[in-house]
C-alpha cells in the first residue's frame, strides 16, 4: 500500500491513568460515577506526560470530559505548555447496570446479556447502556473533527478503553470482534497516523514503557 505524500496527522492515543476501580478491572462507563485518578493514577499521568513530550512535538491536547481523563490531560498539557480541549464524543461507553461490576460479576448476573454484547456490536449492555455500534458512530465523528481541525499536526487524545480501541480498529479496518482482542492499559500510549488519501497506519499500540519508574522517586 502506498500513502499520499505530505505530513500525516498523528493522534497519540492516551488512556487515562488508574482510578480506584482500575486494579479490580471494574466496568467504569459514562453513565455511572465519575471517579478521580488514584495516587497511582496521578503518577502514571505524570509519566505519560513525559512520554508524550518525547513523541512530540505535540500541538494540541484533547480529552474526554470525564474527570479521570481531564486530570490525565491536564498533566500532559502542563508538561507540553498547552491547554486542554474537551470533546464529549470521546467519553467512555455507557455500560448501564454493569457499571461498577467486574467482568466476573457481570458474567454471573447477566450471562445471556453479556454473551450477546460480546457477539454483536448492536447489543445494548446493562439494559440501558450504549451499544458498540453507537460508540463507533460518535468516535468516527470525533476523529473526523480532529483531522479537520489539526491537519498535519500531532494531537494527544486522552480517552477510555472503548473509544481508543475503536480508533485503532477503524485504522486497521478490522472487524468489531477485534475490540476484545486489544490490550489498552491504564496510561498507555498508542499512535495512529492519518494521510491525505484517507488511509491510516497504526504506529504504536499500548506502549507502557514509561510506567516502570515512579516519577515521585
Peptide bond connecting 203 to the previous residue in cis, omega within 30 degrees of 0: no
169: pLDDT strictly greater than 70: yes
Stretch 122-130: mean pLDDT, rounded? 95
Flag whether 4 is in a domain: no
Report pTM. 0.94
Residue indicated by cell numbers 487524545:
157
Classify strands 189-194 and 200-207 as parallel, antiparallel or unpaired: antiparallel
Q: Could you give the number of structural domains in the chain?
A: 1
157: pLDDT strictly greater than 60: yes
Flag whether 120 is in a domain: yes
> Which residues constitute the domain of residue 178?
9-211
Candidates 16, 130, 160, 210; catalytic one: 16
Candidates 71, 87, 89, 92; catalytic one: 92
Residues in the chain: 217
Q: What is the CATH number of the domain that holds 195?
A: 3.40.50.1240
**Is 92 one of the catalytic residues?**
yes
**Is 24 one of the catalytic residues?**
no
CB 62 within 8 A of CB 158: yes
pLDDT-above-90 percentage for the chain: 92
Give which of 126, 35, 103, 101 is closest to 72, Cα–Cα: 35
Q: What is the pLDDT of residues 16-51, one digit of tens each?
A: 999 999 999 999 999 878 999 999 999 999 999 999
Amino acid at each position: 500500500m502506498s500513502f499520499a505524500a505530505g505530513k500525516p496527522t498523528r493522534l497519540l492515543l492516551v488512556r487515562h491513568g488508574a482510578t480506584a476501580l482500575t486494579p479490580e478491572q471494574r466496568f467504569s462507563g459514562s453513565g455511572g460515577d465519575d471517579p478521580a485518578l488514584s495516587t497511582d493514577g496521578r503518577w502514571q499521568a505524570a509519566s505519560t506526560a513525559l512520554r508524550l513530550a518525547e513523541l512530540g512535538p505535540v500541538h494540541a491536547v484533547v480529552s474526554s470530559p470525564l474527570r479521570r481523563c481531564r486530570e490525565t490531560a491536564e498533566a500532559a498539557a502542563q508538561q507540553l505548555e498547552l491547554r486542554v480541549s474537551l470533546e464529549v464524543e470521546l467519553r467512555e461507553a455507557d455500560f448501564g447496570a454493569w457499571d461498577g461490576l467486574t467482568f466476573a460479576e457481570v458474567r454471573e448476573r447477566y450471562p445471556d446479556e453479556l454473551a450477546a454484547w460480546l457477539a454483536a456490536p448492536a447489543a445494548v449492555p446493562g439494559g440501558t447502556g450504549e451499544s458498540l455500534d453507537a460508540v463507533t458512530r460518535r468516535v468516527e465523528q470525533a476523529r473526523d473533527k480532529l483531522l479537520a481541525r489539526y491537519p498535519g499536526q500531532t494531537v494527544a487524545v486522552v480517552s477510555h478503553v472503548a473509544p481508543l480501541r475503536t480508533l485503532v480498529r477503524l485504522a486497521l479496518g478490522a472487524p468489531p470482534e477485534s475490540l476484545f482482542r486489544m490490550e489498552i492499559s491504564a496510561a498507555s500510549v498508542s499512535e495512529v497516523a492519518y494521510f491525505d488519501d484517507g488511509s491510516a497506519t497504526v504506529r504504536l499500540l499500548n506502549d507502557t514503557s514509561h510506567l516502570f519508574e515512579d516519577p515521585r522517586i
